[in-house]
A and B are shown apart, each in its own frame.
Chain A
Amino acid sequence: MSECFPSITMRVNGESCTVNVPPMKRLLDVLREDLHLTGAKEGCGEGECGSCSVRLDGELVNSCLIPVLQAQGAEIQTVEGLAANGVLHPLQECFLACGGAQCGICTPGMLMAAAQLLERNPNPSMAEIREGLAGNLCRCTGFMRIFESVLAAATQMQSPEADKAGHAR
């Protein structure tokens, strides 16, 4: 069947990928089924929960709402691309230390939302963190540990040693 469909090429976590899939297939399903990147999760299928969040050309998107044709030529980052060369991203380190992940199902999306926030705003206030993560639902933590994780990561990423692993941007 696949030969019936146009090729769609994108860069996912820095690597070029080509898939032959129906153009209206959800980006989430392409990532999970065709590229076997199962970090992004489906929680609601309607863009409410944010657990499928990935970054597409520097924008945070709900991959359950994106037809893959829209990703043609795009740069995609998923949670699998957050750690560089086996070194955890400061956000991942801080989520681990501060209890930002419990059941873990919202975590990949939450991390992408947090990464997006810190890239745009390296020194966010609590109100900005709340707003930046408001599209990502977590039912376990009550968000307090997540806020603390993001604040800690922001501090760590701004410290002079932060660029060692190439994470600070």
Chain B
Amino acid sequence: MSATAKTRIVGASVPRKEGIDKLVGRAVYVDDIEREGMWYGTTVRSTIPRGRIRSITCDPRIDWSEFTVVTAANVPGKNHIQLIVADQPCLADGAVNHCDEPIVLLAHADKHKLREAAAAVRIEYEPLPAVLSIEESERQDPIIWGDDNVFKSFLLEKGNVDGVWAQAAHIVEGEYRTGAQEHLYIENNGMIAEWSANDGLTVWGSLQCPYYVHKTLKAVFDLPDEKVRVIQTETGGAFGGKEDYPSTLASHAGLLAMKSGHTIKMVYDRMEDLAATTKRHPSRIRHRTALDKDGKLLAMEIDLATDGGAYSTLSSTVLSRATLHSCGPYVCPNIRVRSRAWATNMVPYGAFRGFGAPQAIFATERHMDEIAAQIGIDPVELRRRNFLHQGDQNATEQLMREPVMLDELLDRALAQSDYYARRERFTRENANSPVKRGLGLATFYHGSGFTGSGELYLNSLAGIDVTADNKVRVMVSNTEFGQGTNTILTQIAAEALGLAFSDISMAPPDTAVIPNSGPTVASRTSMVVGRLIQRASLQLLETLRNDGGLGANASRDEFFAACDRYRTAHGEVKSLCRYEAPPGIFWDDKTYHGEAYGAYAWAVYVAQVAVDTRDYSAEVEEFWTVQEVGRVLHPVMAKGQIEGGVAQGIGYALYERVVWQNGRMANNQMTNYIMPTAADVPPIHVIFEEIPFKFGGYGAKGIGELPHDGPAPAILNAIRDATGVSFNSIPLLPEDIFAVLAAREIQEEPAIK
């Protein structure tokens, strides 16, 4: 397939599949659902980061007979959320390991009675020393998880790092830190649960991964597959924040439903959602890099640490992706990456768009500019000298089989941003201005799909069916939460089947209907699941030709007539396909070598930033993105993905600070956790180059996470360009800039003018 392969629907910006419902206010989100006789639930949470629970007492001034009260003792099955390691209790049992850990659940018919009742549940603790940072966890005193406080560690080695330092022309070291980041989806977490002795448990909710929730509910309620049903409601943003947490909330709503006999709704308010649910893992990343006299990388030694919070959740896989992205899109013969995810008594961290890559890439790309400054090479030139090309091997010795066009992406980004002319102008203007402008760039790649053998392990099953009333339905467990799953998969099915976009609908996101095509994460939907839908559609046509009398170049009517004939003969018209790895893929989980990802998306981002030395504000004034993401299936939505990711990345860099007080989020309100608004985001330019990936849905690679990787390093590199000062930690707020620039002014006198 070439970039210009003729398609009717793929590549066209058709209207969003569920768009009209969202625009007229008809789309049904979980909080929009009311049921006759429904009760409401709430959660009583820990107020200390670590301790034993001495007692739980209910104040007698409340008439508790009106309420349903649930504790860990009411869990019929395993009291654990089933993720990678089942270490996180569904409800705390005897001990708490972080603030806002759920301990007691309450339900009542009147939701207005819940707040007072929750305050009347008294929990007495025997506090224990808490571990609240990576450094405290590294001391391994106290041990709070396993034998060593380490959730997971990786060692990625290539060549011989130790033999290089002595001959290196340059050795550059740096330490980089990234903070927690809140997803701030505008729809808070919410779930409705219904219990019946016959049918088991059904939940409706805001979630990304129906089968993740299904797996946890089976364990918590000790039920077989068919007695648990998970239905996704319209989901108002997720960004990874509804990957694992909905399993906990669904368990809670289910426990209250089972005990009370009523349908239960639990919808968090913003303060609870911010305080109690997952955030992006904070990181501390140290680089030591050897280069030859020409600025070619000789060795990269990287020590990467993340704060995982109190339970392991997804920390091991986040760490894996951070590790695999930590060496950047560069050729380097000698590499050692040692990475560890540390247990602390912080609220567990979880998935967030980019999944460890933004942390790793922040450090690498910030470090590249530090190298450039220290050895006296232009940061553009330093990168260009070290880029991966087709035929090279990356850190895991994965051969770059597909074309790599980093040089072209860089050229285009420089041209679009008028990079050199602008820098020259800023250098001139900055000398006499209190506002210092600069340009910074980041060059990076992002692996699409699950890491290493992950996609094989997922063993995804997806496809299409044609119902008795001749509706063609896409059958996937991959959900829509704004990123365009419904539209993209509909386009692919319509294209492959030769039908119209309007002929295709999405089967309901209901585990009683859909197969398990894996979670909606890791930029895998278009590439991996899209490919399955393409294959399943072609397979259906083949079947109908062989066994339904479908002729070549059949019309729409002939297609449905063939479906009718096939249905009469065989009962149902359904075509499912299972994931097959592209040929020649090898991955060794033990040595962390081989094909880390099926494909990479590549990008070069440029930020223009103005730092005002009077009020110490840093403002992104313009942003350029050039990327290669395989075939662009829907240009308008693809642009929307990039722009949205860049805006979140700008927030990550310059706005969004979680303020912690003894392990508890102190600024858990939109009033004081600040994200960029319409007035803050700069013009964002989006340019795509397309190299179709033959194993992706109509040539697509992953796109969703890529745009969160580049903004933070590009912005902080631009601030260095503007001010000459290296800031190596995000978020970088005016007070942080003040602390450094003001100190420098005092030292240097006269002050910067």
Residues of A near any B CB (own CB < 8 A): 32-33, 37-46, 48-49, 51, 78-80, 82-83, 88, 92, 95-99, 101-108, 111, 129-131, 133-147
Distance A141 CA – B636 CA, assembled complex (angstroms): 11
B237 close to A41 (CB less than 8 A): no
B677 close to A137 (CB less than 8 A): yes
Q: Which of B26, B34, B678 contacts A143 (CB 8 A)?
A: B678
8 pairs across A/B with beta carbons < 8 Å?
A38-B25, A43-B270, A45-B270, A96-B23, A99-B636, A137-B677, A141-B644, A145-B636
Distance A83 CA – B681 CA, assembled complex (angstroms): 29
B186 close to A43 (CB less than 8 A): yes
Distance A96 CA – B669 CA, assembled complex (angstroms): 31
Distance A25 CA – B646 CA, assembled complex (angstroms): 39
Q: Which of A49, A97, A130, A143 contacts B186 (CB 8 A)?
A: A49
Hey, which chain B residues are within 8 Å of A147, CB to CB? Answer: 678
B678 close to A133 (CB less than 8 A): yes
B684 close to A49 (CB less than 8 A): no
Q: Mark B634-665, 1 if CB is under 8 A from A, else 0.
A: 00110110011111100000000000000000
Known: A41-B236, A88-B23, A142-B645. A102 touches B640 (CB 8 A): yes
Q: Which of B20, B31, B234, B678 is the most central at the interface, judged by chain A CB atoms within 10 Å of its CB?
A: B678
B669 close to A48 (CB less than 8 A): yes
Distance A52 CA – B35 CA, assembled complex (angstroms): 22
Distance A78 CA – B26 CA, assembled complex (angstroms): 12
Hey, which chain B residues are within 8 Å of A80, CB to CB? Answer: 24-25
Q: Which of A95, A103, A137, A145 contacts B675 (CB 8 A)?
A: A137
B31 close to A42 (CB less than 8 A): yes
B187 close to A103 (CB less than 8 A): yes
Known: A43-B187, A136-B678. A103 touches B31 (CB 8 A): no
B678 close to A96 (CB less than 8 A): no
Hey, which chain A residues are within 8 Å of B640, CB to CB? Answer: 99, 102, 140-142, 144-145
Residues of B near any A CB (own CB < 8 A): 13, 15-16, 18-29, 31-32, 34, 183-188, 234-239, 269-270, 481-484, 636-637, 639-640, 643-648, 669-671, 675, 677-679, 681, 683-684
Shortest distance from the beta carbon of A75 to any chain B beta carbon, whole Å: 18
Known: A139-B239, A139-B648, A144-B681. A92 touches B23 (CB 8 A): yes
A104 close to B647 (CB less than 8 A): no
Distance A133 CA – B683 CA, assembled complex (angstroms): 15
Q: Which of B187, B238, B671 is the most central at the interface, judged by chain A CB atoms within 10 Å of its CB?
A: B187
Distance A130 CA – B669 CA, assembled complex (angstroms): 23
Known: A103-B186, A103-B482, A139-B185. A144 touches B643 (CB 8 A): yes
- Minimum CB distance partner of B21 in chain A: A104
Distance A105 CA – B25 CA, assembled complex (angstroms): 9
Shortest distance from the beta carbon of A36 to any chain B beta carbon, whole Å: 8
Hey, which chain A residues are within 8 Å of B186, CB to CB? Answer: 41, 43, 49, 51, 103, 105-106, 137-139
Hey, which chain B residues are within 8 Å of A138, CB to CB? Answer: 186, 678
Distance A33 CA – B59 CA, assembled complex (angstroms): 31
Distance A130 CA – B187 CA, assembled complex (angstroms): 23
Hey, which chain A residues are within 8 Å of B25, CB to CB? Answer: 37-40, 78-80, 108
Distance A106 CA – B186 CA, assembled complex (angstroms): 7
A79 close to B671 (CB less than 8 A): no
Hey, which chain B residues are within 8 Å of A105, CB to CB? Answer: 29, 185-187, 236-237
A101 close to B23 (CB less than 8 A): yes
Known: A48-B670, A49-B670. A103 touches B235 (CB 8 A): yes
Distance A122 CA – B228 CA, assembled complex (angstroms): 52
Q: Which of A38, A43, A146 contacts B678 (CB 8 A)?
A: A146
A142 close to B29 (CB less than 8 A): no
Known: A45-B269, A130-B678. A96 touches B19 (CB 8 A): yes
Distance A136 CA – B680 CA, assembled complex (angstroms): 12
Q: Which of A48, A82, A96, A129 is the most central at the interface, judged by chain B CB atoms within 10 Å of its CB?
A: A48
B684 close to A142 (CB less than 8 A): yes
Known: A96-B19, A142-B645, A142-B646. A104 touches B678 (CB 8 A): no
Distance A54 CA – B679 CA, assembled complex (angstroms): 21
Q: Which of B15, B21, B236 is the most central at the interface, judged by chain A CB atoms within 10 Å of its CB?
A: B236
- Minimum CB distance partner of A107 in chain B: B22
Q: Which of A44, A99, A104, A136 contacts B27 (CB 8 A)?
A: A104
B29 close to A143 (CB less than 8 A): no
A134 close to B678 (CB less than 8 A): yes
Hey, which chain A residues are within 8 Å of B184, CB to CB? Answer: 137, 139
Q: Which of B16, B675, B679 contacts A130 (CB 8 A)?
A: B679
Hey, which chain A residues are within 8 Å of B16, CB to CB? Answer: 96, 99, 101
Q: Which of B15, B31, B270, B677 is the most central at the interface, judged by chain A CB atoms within 10 Å of its CB?
A: B677
Q: Which of A37, A48, A96, A142 contacts B681 (CB 8 A)?
A: A142
Shortest distance from the beta carbon of A64 to any chain B beta carbon, whole Å: 11
Distance A41 CA – B20 CA, assembled complex (angstroms): 17
Extra inter-chain contacts (20) besides given A42-B31, A42-B269, A92-B20, CB under 8 Å = A38-B31, A43-B670, A46-B669, A80-B24, A92-B23, A92-B24, A96-B20, A97-B15, A97-B636, A101-B22, A103-B22, A103-B481, A104-B22, A104-B23, A104-B234, A104-B482, A130-B678, A134-B678, A137-B186, A138-B678
Hey, which chain A residues are within 8 Å of B269, CB to CB? Answer: 42, 45
Hey, which chain B residues are within 8 Å of A78, CB to CB? Answer: 25
B237 close to A99 (CB less than 8 A): no
Known: A82-B24, A88-B20. A99 touches B187 (CB 8 A): no
A140 close to B644 (CB less than 8 A): yes
Shortest distance from the beta carbon of B212 to any chain A beta carbon, whole Å: 19
Hey, which chain B residues are within 8 Å of A140, CB to CB? Answer: 237, 482-483, 640, 644
- Minimum CB distance partner of A126 in chain B: B683
Hey, which chain A residues are within 8 Å of B29, CB to CB? Answer: 38, 41, 105
Hey, which chain B residues are within 8 Å of A44, CB to CB? Answer: 270, 669-670
Q: Which of B237, B639, B643 contacts A103 (CB 8 A)?
A: B237
Hey, which chain B residues are within 8 Å of A97, CB to CB? Answer: 13, 15, 636
Shortest distance from the beta carbon of A34 to any chain B beta carbon, whole Å: 11
The 6 closest A-B pairs by CB, nearest first: A39-B25, A105-B236, A103-B482, A104-B22, A142-B647, A102-B482
Q: Which of A37, A45, A95, A105 is the most central at the interface, judged by chain B CB atoms within 10 Å of its CB?
A: A105
Hey, which chain A residues are within 8 Å of B23, CB to CB? Answer: 79, 88, 92, 95-96, 101, 104, 107, 111
Q: Which of B20, B24, B238, B482 contacts A79 (CB 8 A)?
A: B24
- Minimum CB distance partner of A81 in chain B: B25
Known: A101-B16, A134-B679. A142 touches B270 (CB 8 A): no
A145 close to B639 (CB less than 8 A): yes
Q: Which of B483, B636, B644 contacts A98 (CB 8 A)?
A: B636
Known: A41-B186, A101-B22. A46 touches B670 (CB 8 A): yes
Hey, which chain B residues are within 8 Å of A96, CB to CB? Answer: 15-16, 19-20, 23
- Minimum CB distance partner of A33 in chain B: B34
A41 close to B636 (CB less than 8 A): no
Shortest distance from the beta carbon of B651 to any chain A beta carbon, whole Å: 9
Distance A35 CA – B63 CA, assembled complex (angstroms): 31
A144 close to B684 (CB less than 8 A): yes
Shortest distance from the beta carbon of B744 to any chain A beta carbon, whole Å: 33
Shortest distance from the beta carbon of B24 to any chain A beta carbon, whole Å: 5
- Minimum CB distance partner of B623 in chain A: A142
Q: Which of A43, A78, A106 is the most central at the interface, judged by chain B CB atoms within 10 Å of its CB?
A: A43
Known: A88-B23, A140-B644, A145-B636. A102 touches B678 (CB 8 A): no
Shortest distance from the beta carbon of B22 to any chain A beta carbon, whole Å: 3
Distance A136 CA – B677 CA, assembled complex (angstroms): 8
Distance A131 CA – B681 CA, assembled complex (angstroms): 12
